[in-house]
Amino acid sequence: MLVHNHDPLDTGTIAECRVIGVLDFIDKGLVDNKILAVPKHAPVDKYSKLSDFDESFLKIIKHFFRIYKEDINGDVKLGDWHNGKKATSVVTSAHERYLNEKKHND
């Protein structure tokens, strides 16, 4: 998950967030979508949907994920950015899989 915040967040910080969008991402043949979120305290009138972010910012993030595994011969495929509705669905689905797996391991 990518958390867009004006101030740095320390590693390991837990922040309640609002999901804004999702970038389709495949890593070594496995779905590894990237969620874009903002802290819950971020102004809703400024950050409530994907189109609230500059297109150049979204392109930079997408480019980063396109190249960040090149030095280890990573096999990644990128799709498109999608709105909060699809992103929320991705997060909900992942949470359900986690709970299901946890239930089977207890």
Q: By the 8 A CB rule, do 24 and 78 touch?
A: yes
Position 39 pLDDT exceeds 90? yes
Residue-wise pLDDT for 2-28, tens only, equals 999 989 999 899 999 999 999 999 998
Place of tokens 């958390």: 3
Name the residue range of residue 39's domain: 2-105
Q: How far apart are CA 11 and CA 102, in angstroms?
A: 25
Of all residues in the chain, the percent with pLDDT exceeding 90 is: 74
DSSP string for residues in 24-78: EEEETTEE--EEEEEETTS-TTTSSSGGGS-HHHHHHHHHHHHHTTGGGT--EEE
Question: Which residue type occupies 43?
Answer: P
pTM value? 0.87
Q: By the 8 A CB rule, do 22 and 92 touch?
A: no
CATH of the domain at 79: 3.90.80.10
Q: How many CB atoms lie within 10 A of CB 8?
A: 7
Confidence of residue 96 (pLDDT cuts 50, 70, 90): very high
**How many domains in the chain?**
1
Position 74 pLDDT exceeds 80? no
